Structure 1
Amino acid sequence: MQNDISGLNDIASILSNLILNTDSYKASHYLQYPPGASAMFSYIESRGGRYDRTLFFGLQMLIKEYLCRPVTPAMIDQAKAFFTGHGEPFNEAGWRYIVERHGGYMPVRIRAVPEGSVVPTHNVLLTVECDDPQVFWLASYLETMLMRVWYPITVATQSWHLRKTIRGYLEKSSDDLTQLPFKLHDFGARGVSSAESAAIGGSAHLVSFMGSDTVLGVVAANHYYNETMAAFSVPAAEHSTITAWGRERETDAYRNMIAQFGKPGAIVSVVSDSYDLFAALEVWGTELKQAVLDSGGTLVVRPDSGDPQTIVLQTLRALETSFGSKVNSKGRRVLNNVRVIQGDGVNPDSIEAILAAMDDAGYATDNIVFGMGGALLQQINRDTQRFAMKCSAIKLGDEWHDVRKDPVTDAGKRSKKGRLTLLRNRHTGEYRTTTLPVAWDDHTVEGDWDEALVTVFDSGKLLVDVAFSDVRARAHAGEG
């Protein structure tokens, strides 16, 4: 009898079907475990990578979106039709059991470090345990979905480290550290692979910054983390709004931007390289200078082509010649009424190089804002921080057994063994991964070490619903 595959035409329901949110080979794994298996324990870690510390963020989004919704009989029928036609076995009895016994919710326990925590690599960040003997394999089946937490963690980690870089230059050259949250603006929405990526990655960036043009990222942070408004933006020109006036009316296009948006205290960003950046800088400093001054706002000029380090300095010098500058208490010059936003060729290396060049030239970091696109949300992958999720223990009958991967060809892929947790020293803040004691609960302590993992999800229930403000506070608790 051929399976009815009509339900496979509804792509929206397929994408929301947790049973199908996996890898194909996972469907056959329930037949591959040793006899008597009754429980399983898995964990996620960063095995190193570009940065030596990771900022944990994004699990709450995944849990709310995928694990707080029950599997239904219709989903099982849909998955059965797919896997049968796909060439894989399907554990229909196991999924029916989940619906009948657990109301369709996953009988798994997820423990994780609080979101916003900054943890050295090679430590457990998240654990998954299933102790229902009928469906113990869920602790591994959910790997595909849960492992995608690598993406918001990696974006959040990169932005956290970039905040440290920018903060260092502000402390050296500026009198105003309050501008730090607006120094790296998210330009990445159009450069990612999907709307979901824009939402997840865009919200992760906002743990460290408060400027974004990635609307879906702001919406996601607001929605999943109980925030009123996680980020802000300003009116800004794009090339089409300038070139639509024609080259001969470029000055009119600029004048219109000031007329429309130039108000006391306002910020107006104008891309100025549609034709000749240096000619545009001359116009801003002569014909339009008084309009800028009279507006009471701040003009932000965006040079959008050329070598970033060279162009930023040339732009600053031209604007300083026209608008002047003041010397702050750090001996650095701050331009009057104007700033620069660099949004082309921006990545961790170029940010460092531009800030260093500005400092060498005597300019304060006040003078620049960065807009980061592809390098912020797209030019990373799971190997950037070498994320992995592995099974580390399995229960056979009534006894737990350690499980470990230890390939002779690559010691870097050696996994941890046992039922694991993360401890934090209450005095030094140091983290340490260790195995759980036989008699254990969420409040177990060991000398000066406290449990760093908390149970955030258990059998369909979200137990921790953190606010975005708390994530931010935790991520930047060490800042002076």
Structure 2
Amino acid sequence: MKQTNPMLLIDFYKAVHAEMLPKGITKSVSYFTPRMSRVKRWNEVVMFGLQGFIKEYLVDYFNEYFFFEHRNKAIGTYKTVMDAALGEGAYGLQKIEDLYDLGYLPIEIKALPEGTLVPMHVPMFSIENTHKDFAWLPQALESLISAEMWHPMIAATVGHTYRQIVNKFYEMTCDDNTVKARALGAFDFRGEECLQSAVKAGAGWCLSFLNTATVPTIPYLERNYNCDCTKEPVAFGSPSTEHSVACSNYAIDGDEETLIKRLLTEIYPNTSFSAVLDSYDYWNVVENILPKLKNEIMNHNGCFLVRGDSGDCVDVVTRTVFKLWEEFGGTTNSKGYKVLDPHIKAIYGDSITVQRCEQIYDILEKNGFAASNVALGVGSFSFQCIEEDGVLKPFTRDTFSSCIKATYCEIDGKPYPIFKNPKDGGFKKSQRGLCHVYTGSDGKLTFKDGYTSENLPMNNLLETVFRDGKLVKEQSLQEIRRVLNEGEF
């Protein structure tokens, strides 16, 4: 959508609501809230993506394609589209002209820190106007904010879910210095809805793990989350073959032996790498070819990751570990679990759901092997869907029923708590008035509503991050990782 006038990044009905609001309205406050979870495994969602959205849209995008645009073009483009689609007289143009003349977004956003685990029903951030003439603006931005915010939050929650699984099994079976953040990698780029989705999913994943195949995630995080890949671990990739490499070499030699030997001794003699080995007969490679290359593998200055890519992933990756142990051996760690020789390891990068991840680690543990003997890759399925009780549940905005609802306004100087409470609406009931978010006696986030600007408690955990066109409070990637992972990444 680059180069589209940002005032057009709306549902059509947003173009007419300013004229419908009560006369004399000078203030409107709305809250972004996860209202319910449709996933049994989740009762909290990771707060993430707001800072990136603010920088890319509320600052850069609005400036470049609206406020810094020539007035005739900025106003004319909006008018042309609305005249054609809604009809002249069906909407008001003056509000757009007034906003352009003001020269900035008269908006304040107050938010929880990114990386916070937020329970259902607790507001994650608020949005309100700072200028009395633009009470229509907070809800006018709803469509854009909702469209941009739900996916990075779910991606971050997906990553956190896998990290919890890793934490459990690594703490049980691995030495304490084993790096948990390198246990899994994201292989989802090609299966995401679009480039933007892939980048933001990768960013959410990188709150919990370092490994990703999505290269543009790094510049996105550097632009928006105060990090530098040359000075700190932002994200890591790894050299790996693909089937085109294996098949083209096989066409010449009739087996994988020559390619594997060349990778070990000529191409990557001092670098760890993975090789996909199931183009034809995976178990022939594992059981017959790898033993022939044992000297090359053991003399390789790095780790050779043996990758299957078809069949039952749970069986393939665990059985690979057992086969590699028989041939290459290893050591027993401080917790009594077997660890493969550091020159070789098993990897599986396809079909690793949260359930299969748990199954793999559980099988390894029950057979006396550390979880670190395998590297696992999470594909696009796990970023877009989860299976529960035999039912596939695709992720959408409604996974957490994330919404922005107006709950407070001021009209002719008087405060009015407003709310919705559908008779048959259930979870669609909104907050009422201003909200105070705080930590309850059980250590969990909670809130109370019903306040006005005159009696809202001062120690609100929703703190100003954006005001009048400027980001006023920033978090770094490192800080967000610490928040989510309780200080340990």
Q: How does the TM-score come out when normalised to structure 1?
A: 0.91
Aligned pairs (5 A) from 1:207-356: 207-229=207-229, 230-246=234-250, 248-264=254-270, 266-336=271-341, 337-356=343-362
Is the 1:174–1:364 contact (alpha carbons within 8 Å) kept by the matching residues of 2?
Answer: yes
Deviation at 1:376, TM superposition (A): 4.0
Q: Which residue of 2 aligns with 1:32?
A: 20
Q: Which residue of 2 aligns with 1:4?
A: none
Residue 56 of structure 1 is aligned with which of 35, 41, 47? Answer: 47
Distance 1:259 1:121 in 2: 54
Deviation at 1:357, TM superposition (A): 1.8
Distance 1:440 1:376 in 2: 44
Distance 2:8 2:29 in 1: 21
Is the 1:174–1:365 contact (alpha carbons within 8 Å) kept by the matching residues of 2?
Answer: yes
Q: Which residue of 2 aligns with 1:397?
A: 412
Letter in 1 for 2:280: Y
- Classify the secondary structure of the residue corresponding to 1:13: coil
- Classify the secondary structure of the residue corresponding to 1:218: helix
Is the 1:285–1:319 contact (alpha carbons within 8 Å) kept by the matching residues of 2?
Answer: no
Residue 433 of structure 1 is aligned with which of 441, 444, 447? Answer: 447
Deviation at 1:284, TM superposition (A): 4.6
Q: Which residue of 2 aligns with 1:8?
A: none
- Classify the secondary structure of the residue corresponding to 1:383: helix
Per the alignment, do residues 258 and 44 of structure 1 end up closer, same or farther by CA in structure 2, a change over 3 Å counting? same
- Classify the secondary structure of the residue corresponding to 1:341: strand
Residue 466 of structure 2 is aligned with which of 457, 461, 464? Answer: 457
- Classify the secondary structure of the residue corresponding to 2:3: helix
Per the alignment, do residues 399 and 253 of structure 1 end up closer, same or farther by CA in structure 2, a change over 3 Å counting? same
Is the 1:155–1:377 contact (alpha carbons within 8 Å) kept by the matching residues of 2?
Answer: yes
- Classify the secondary structure of the residue corresponding to 2:481: helix
Deviation at 1:378, TM superposition (A): 3.1
Are 2:111 and 1:112 aligned?
yes
Per the alignment, do residues 243 and 38 of structure 1 end up closer, same or farther by CA in structure 2, a change over 3 Å counting? same
Is the 2:130–2:468 contact (alpha carbons within 8 Å) kept by the matching residues of 1?
Answer: no
Deviation at 1:203, TM superposition (A): 0.8
Residue 13 of structure 1 is aligned with which of 3, 14, 22? Answer: 3
Deviation at 1:245, TM superposition (A): 0.9
- Classify the secondary structure of the residue corresponding to 2:133: coil
Distance 1:171 1:46 in 2: 31
Letter in 2 for 1:98: L
Q: Which residue of 1 aligns with 2:484?
A: 475
Deviation at 1:118, TM superposition (A): 1.8
Distance 2:278 2:370 in 1: 24
Is the 2:433–2:452 contact (alpha carbons within 8 Å) kept by the matching residues of 1?
Answer: no
Q: Which residue of 2 aligns with 1:420?
A: 435
Are 2:93 and 1:92 aligned?
yes
Aligned pairs (5 A) from 1:192-211: 192-211=192-211
Distance 1:21 1:211 in 2: 34
- Classify the secondary structure of the residue corresponding to 1:286: helix
Letter in 2 for 1:468: L
Deviation at 1:456, TM superposition (A): 0.5
Distance 1:420 1:369 in 2: 44
Distance 2:467 2:335 in 1: 53
1:387-407 CA distances to partner (integer Å, 9 max, x unpaired)?
111111122221121222222
Is the 1:199–1:219 contact (alpha carbons within 8 Å) kept by the matching residues of 2?
Answer: no
Is the 2:417–2:452 contact (alpha carbons within 8 Å) kept by the matching residues of 1?
Answer: no
Q: Which residue of 1 aligns with 2:425?
A: 410
Per the alignment, do residues 113 and 273 of structure 1 end up closer, same or farther by CA in structure 2, a change over 3 Å counting? same
1:184-217 CA distances to partner (integer Å, 9 max, x unpaired)?
2011111111111112111111011111110111
Is the 2:30–2:407 contact (alpha carbons within 8 Å) kept by the matching residues of 1?
Answer: yes
Residue 56 of structure 2 is aligned with which of 52, 65, 88? Answer: 65
Q: How does the TM-score come out when normalised to structure 2?
A: 0.89
Is the 2:249–2:256 contact (alpha carbons within 8 Å) kept by the matching residues of 1?
Answer: yes
Is the 2:407–2:418 contact (alpha carbons within 8 Å) kept by the matching residues of 1?
Answer: yes
Q: Which residue of 2 aligns with 1:153?
A: 153
Letter in 2 for 1:366: S
Aligned pairs (5 A) from 1:126-145: 126-145=125-144
Distance 2:303 2:455 in 1: 58
Distance 2:274 2:311 in 1: 19
Deviation at 1:249, TM superposition (A): 3.6
Distance 2:172 2:353 in 1: 21
Deviation at 1:419, TM superposition (A): 1.5
1:84-135 CA distances to partner (integer Å, 9 max, x unpaired)?
21126443210111121x21x2111100001112222210101001153322
Which stretch has the larger CA shift, 432-441 or 70-79? 432-441
- Classify the secondary structure of the residue corresponding to 1:451: coil
1:400-450 CA distances to partner (integer Å, 9 max, x unpaired)?
21222222223112111112231235x864322123454368xx54xxxx4
Letter in 1 for 2:239: P
Per the alignment, do residues 231 and 478 of structure 1 end up closer, same or farther by CA in structure 2, a change over 3 Å counting? closer
Q: Which residue of 2 aligns with 1:359?
A: 365
Distance 2:289 2:177 in 1: 28
Letter in 1 for 2:444: E
Per the alignment, do residues 261 and 112 of structure 1 end up closer, same or farther by CA in structure 2, a change over 3 Å counting? farther
Deviation at 1:142, TM superposition (A): 0.4
Deviation at 1:138, TM superposition (A): 0.6
Equivalent residues, number: 458
Letter in 2 for 1:460: G
Structure 2 portions without partners, runs of 5+:
386-394
Per the alignment, do residues 328 and 129 of structure 1 end up closer, same or farther by CA in structure 2, a change over 3 Å counting? same
